């Protein structure tokens, strides 16, 4: 059983309910579940063309979507972090002392074989156990 479980949620994928159900099964009695979504900042010069208000609106939408994914689950703490998905999740898990990360993985495309998917990056760089949902 795990004491601190990070569930990495991509809000555009359907792994949320399964991932949270699995986290509940793997969590120790006094354990904790943290649902993490990574808000990726705009790249380079693109940010010069997007207003701060538009970025704030996007962040508000992410907060709402994360709350909807979690629903009324009182046993799950929602967290939004900024950065690159794969690296930010592993850094956050290490900083928080997590002993398990649960992440979903879609069927890889050609770009994933060349660059590596988010779940592959998490598996490679995590300092704790990782459970990948297909």
* Contacts with 80 (C-beta within 8 Å, 6 or more apart), sequence order: 36, 37, 38, 39, 59, 62, 63, 66
Q: Is the pTM above the cut of 0.85?
A: yes
| Bigger pLDDT: 97 vs 106 | 97
Domain ranges of the chain: 2-133
Return the pLDDT at 113: 60
Task: Kindly report the CATH class assigned to 2-133.
Answer: alpha beta
Q: What is the pLDDT of residues 109-130, one digit of tens each?
A: 666 565 458 888 999 999 999 9
Give the angle subtended at the CA of 97 by the CAs of 91 and 100, to the nearest 5°.
Answer: 85
């Amino acid at each position: 059983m795990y004491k601190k479980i990070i569930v990495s949620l991509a809000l555009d994928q359907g792994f949320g309910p399964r991932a949270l159900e699995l986290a509940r099964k793997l969590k120790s009695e006094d354990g904790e579940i943290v649902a993490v979504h990574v808000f990726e900042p705009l790249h380079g010069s693109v940010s010069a063309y997007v207003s701060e208000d538009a970025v704030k609106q996007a962040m508000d939408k992410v907060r709402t979507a994360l709350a909807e994914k979690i629903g009324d689950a009182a046993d799950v703490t929602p967290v939004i972090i900024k950065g690159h998905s794969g690296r930010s999740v592993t850094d956050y898990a290490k900083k928080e002392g997590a002993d398990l990360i649960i992440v979903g993985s879609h069927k890889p495309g050609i770009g994933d074989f060349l660059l590596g998917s988010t779940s592959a990056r998490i598996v490679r760089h995590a300092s704790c156990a990782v459970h990948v949902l297909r």
